[in-house]
């Protein structure tokens, strides 16, 4: 094949012709519909049912995020043990079945089971997501991994804008029963779409059997022995700390720095979301031309500059533009990280590596979000945003040893 023809196959047509990318994108589309309808319909239902009880509302976040810490590494380990296609289909079928079980309990009056729907689907996603990444590793050519990740993240960015609207409209127009039904159907449709994945290949195992604990320990040893993954873990933690510091306090950026009503926050969030959608498409065209570590460094640097601008700005349009530009380059971070993991992790360890690194990011973010109120009571919003920018730049410094390397590990 000529060089020109090879380059053409790494374009949009080659992406859509790849069976795994096409199938996973369709599955993600259905899952995002189900997840966003779930998130907002259940939130609005609990607010209405409990008359805005803060404990009940906070339990929704617990049900959504707690499984990331409790099951992410376990799910990643099982994703390395089990057949990925079968794992993904089974998880979606179980999620759909559990949703209709919750629907039956709602019919007999036990509304508190609504938390179970969020909890179980969140647990199952910790098994399904690393299995999906493993399929990328197994079946997607290396030249298509980064642009494939760009398309994957663009779907998520699109639903950051459309998801809240979709969930709210479904609940307000049709009620919680219809919302739960749509959620279950979305999971079943995702499972049906995944049937189009290539069949799992049989893996020959040695005579020596390993336990789950032994495989978990092997996962930690693997990450610690790999320079790229160790540095990436530090970068993950720095980004999580920065995002966790600013995300819950964005409303004070509007009320204190800009002197505007809190309702104006929605426009800043919309600008960030639109930036993410456009950024995903923009990076798709650049993905095959840039190393993932360069992409990641650019994304974190621009977001650091954006945080600095937001902190100092007292003008709405300047802050709005900073949000948009930050959103435009946010996909660089997500795409760069996922591509680096897939390109530099052996197939047998993909699930465990994802299970170790993802909680680092989420853990750092949740810790900072939990002390956000204390920080706001003792520090100005300007200081908080500039500290977050410094954390982003620290993440870039952690990446410096990798910027001149194409791969740490050839796999």
- pLDDT tens digits along 197-220: 888 776 555 556 778 788 888 888
Secondary element (H or E) of residue 99: helix 84-107
Q: Where do we find the tokens 């029963």?
A: 177
* Predicted pLDDT of residue 406: 54
Domains 18-194 and 214-401 share a fold: yes
For 252-290, write each residue's pLDDT tens digit: 888 888 888 887 888 888 889 889 888 877 777 766 678
| Higher-pLDDT residue of 12, 35 | 35
Secondary element (H or E) of residue 140: none
Distance, in Å, from the CA atom of 18 to the CA atom of 293, rounded to the nearest integer, reads 24
The pair of three-digit structure tokens given for residue 110, joined into one six-digit string: 């036990």
Distance, in Å, from the CA atom of 72 to the CA atom of 124, rounded to the nearest integer, reads 10
* Three-state SS sequence of 239-299: HHHHHHHHHHHHHHHHHHHCCCCHHHHHHHHHHHHHHHHHHHHHHHHHHHHCCHHHHHHHH
Q: Which CATH number fits domain 18-194: 3.30.1330.90, 1.20.1250.20, 3.40.1520.20, 3.30.565.10?
A: 1.20.1250.20
Average pLDDT, whole number, for the chain? 83
Q: Do residues 330 and 150 lie in contact, with contact meaning Cβ atoms separated by under 8 Å? A: no
For 223-247, write each residue's pLDDT tens digit: 888 888 899 888 888 998 998 888 8
In this structure, of 33-47, 49-63, 72-86, 351-365, the range with the lowest mean pLDDT score is 49-63
Q: How confident is the model at residue 143 (pLDDT cuts 50, 70, 90)?
A: confident
pTM above 0.85, yes or no: no
Q: Do residues 371 and 70 lie in contact, with contact meaning Cβ atoms separated by under 8 Å? A: no
* Predicted pLDDT of residue 410: 42
Report the CATH superfamily, name and number, of domain 214-401: MFS general substrate transporter like domains (1.20.1250.20)
For 112-130, write each residue's pLDDT tens digit: 777 777 788 888 888 888 8
* Predicted pLDDT of residue 388: 93
SS3 409: coil
SS3 407: coil
The pair of three-digit structure tokens given for residue 270, joined into one six-digit string: 């919309």
| Domain ranges within the chain, ordered by starting residue | 18-194, 214-401
For 49-78, write each residue's pLDDT tens digit: 887 777 777 777 777 777 877 788 888 888
Sorted by sequence, the CB contacts under 8 Å of residue 375 that are 6+ apart come out as 245, 249, 384
């Amino acid at each position: 094949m000529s060089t020109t023809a090879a380059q053409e196959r790494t374009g949009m047509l080659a992406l859509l012709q790849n069976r795994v990318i096409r199938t996973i994108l369709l599955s993600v589309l259905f899952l995002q519909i189900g997840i966003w309808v779930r998130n907002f319909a259940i939130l609005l239902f609990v607010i209405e049912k409990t008359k805005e009880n803060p404990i009940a509302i906070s339990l929704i976040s617990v049900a959504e995020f707690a499984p990331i810490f409790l099951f992410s590494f376990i799910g990643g380990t099982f994703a390395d043990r089990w057949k990925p296609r079968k794992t993904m289909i089974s998880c979606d079928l179980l999620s759909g079945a559990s949703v209709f079980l919750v629907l039956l309990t709602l019919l007999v009056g036990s509304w508190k089971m609504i938390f179970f729907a969020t909890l179980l689907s969140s647990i199952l996603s910790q098994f399904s997501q690393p299995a999906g990444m493993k399929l990328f590793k197994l079946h997607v050519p290396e030249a298509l991994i980064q642009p494939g990740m760009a398309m994957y993240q663009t779907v998520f960015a699109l639903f950051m804008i459309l998801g809240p609207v979709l969930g709210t409209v479904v609940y307000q127009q049709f009620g919680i029963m219809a919302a739960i039904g749509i959620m279950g159907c979305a999971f079943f449709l995702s499972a049906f779409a995944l049937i189009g994945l290539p069949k799992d290949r049989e893996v020959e195992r040695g005579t020596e059997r390993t336990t789950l604990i032994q495989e978990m320990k092997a996962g930690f040893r693997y990450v610690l022995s790999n320079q790229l993954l160790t540095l990436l873990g530090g970068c993950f933690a720095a980004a999580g700390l920065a995002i966790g510091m600013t995300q819950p306090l964005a409303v004070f950026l509007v009320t204190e720095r800009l002197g505007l009503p809190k309702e104006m926050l929605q426009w800043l969030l919309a600008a960030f979301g639109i930036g993410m959608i456009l950024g995903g498409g923009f990076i798709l065209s650049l993905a095959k031309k840039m190393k993932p570590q360069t992409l990641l460094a650019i994304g974190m640097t621009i977001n650091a500059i954006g945080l600095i601008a937001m902190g100092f700005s007292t003008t709405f349009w300047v802050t709005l533009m900073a949000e948009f530009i930050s959103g435009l380059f946010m996909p660089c971070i997500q795409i760069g990280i996922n591509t680096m993991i897939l390109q530099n992790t052996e197939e047998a360890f993909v699930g465990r590596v994802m299970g170790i690194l993802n909680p680092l990011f989420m853990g750092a973010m949740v810790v900072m979000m939990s002390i956000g109120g204390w920080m706001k009571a003792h520090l100005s919003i300007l200081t908080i945003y500039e500290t977050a920018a410094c954390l982003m730049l620290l993440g870039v410094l952690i990446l410096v040893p990798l910027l001149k390397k194409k791969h740490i590990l050839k796999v």
